[in-house]
Amino acid sequence: VIEKNTLQALPGELQNWYNKYEQYHIYNAYGLFRSMTGVDGRPELIVEGAFESTNSKGLQWKEYEFQAKPSILSHSTTFVAPHQPRLDWQMWFAALSNYQHEAWLANFLYRLLTNQNEVLKLIKYSPFANKPPKYLRVMLYRYNFTELGSSNWWKHILQIKSKTIELSVLVIYLQAIHSFSDKMNPILFTWFPVCFAFIILILKKCLCSTSNYYMKSRQSYQTNGHIFHQVSSLCLALSNDNTHIQMEKCDESN
């Protein structure tokens, strides 16, 4: 079944063809994603490393190159089918998300800072093959193709630049996560954040409902108080009128 908006965008002859043969179920709409990314550029994470600075020029950053994903501006895309580089694919999802949702990324950076051979084999080129870097940083760029005649294949615009990542700080972060996960039951570790978030939502809703109840009660009290005040004023006015009438009758009798 073709989506209604998609069907309406088709030329009239194709719409007629679709309506005529739809009953035979000889074709189907399919797709991995309902909405495709990359329409206004492809987000990419670029990992750079540096040794400790020994001069006034500061840190000299060098870029890691991956197997297939866009990185070096002068390098063209590669043909990978039927193989799909797993790390490159995960880096694409990480570029669409944030580091809190991509716990593996911190472990990956740790392996780069320690030059673990098994991880280095997953990337195409490391400028620190002989000696691990002292620092790392991750840059989020938005990639687009260049125009004809350009010497580069890609052009990119910087979106976000991370702080400088050092091994000692990353180790503390990973140890805290691992210590927390080791002390908890795996099922509890998996469902605890979900349940905690769910409880927060319930409490928030209850508090909002209670707040609305008190607001409505206060408004009702103010409304009732205003009505009571009007009724009291009316009764007082009537009482004064009756008193005035009675006094007039007394004067007439006298």
**What is the rounded distance in angstroms from the CA atom of residue 137 to the CA atom of residue 161?**
8
DSSP summary character for residue 9: H
Q: pLDDT tens digits, residue range 69-118?
A: 999 999 988 888 888 899 999 999 999 888 778 889 989 999 999 999 99
pLDDT band of 181, cuts 50, 70, 90:
low
Q: Which residue has the higher pLDDT, 222 or 9?
A: 9
- Which tokens is 231 given? 């009724």
- pLDDT at site 138: 94
Question: How many percent of the chain have pLDDT more than 70?
Answer: 68
Q: Which of 164, 162, 142 has its CA nearest to residue 154?
A: 142
User: What does the pLDDT average to over 196-209?
Assistant: 76
Q: pTM, whole model, 2 decimals? A: 0.59
Give counts: helices (H), strands (E), the chain: 7, 5
- pLDDT at site 69: 93
Computed over every residue of the chain, the mean pLDDT equals 78
pLDDT band of 247, cuts 50, 70, 90:
very low
Residue with tokens 């125009």: 147
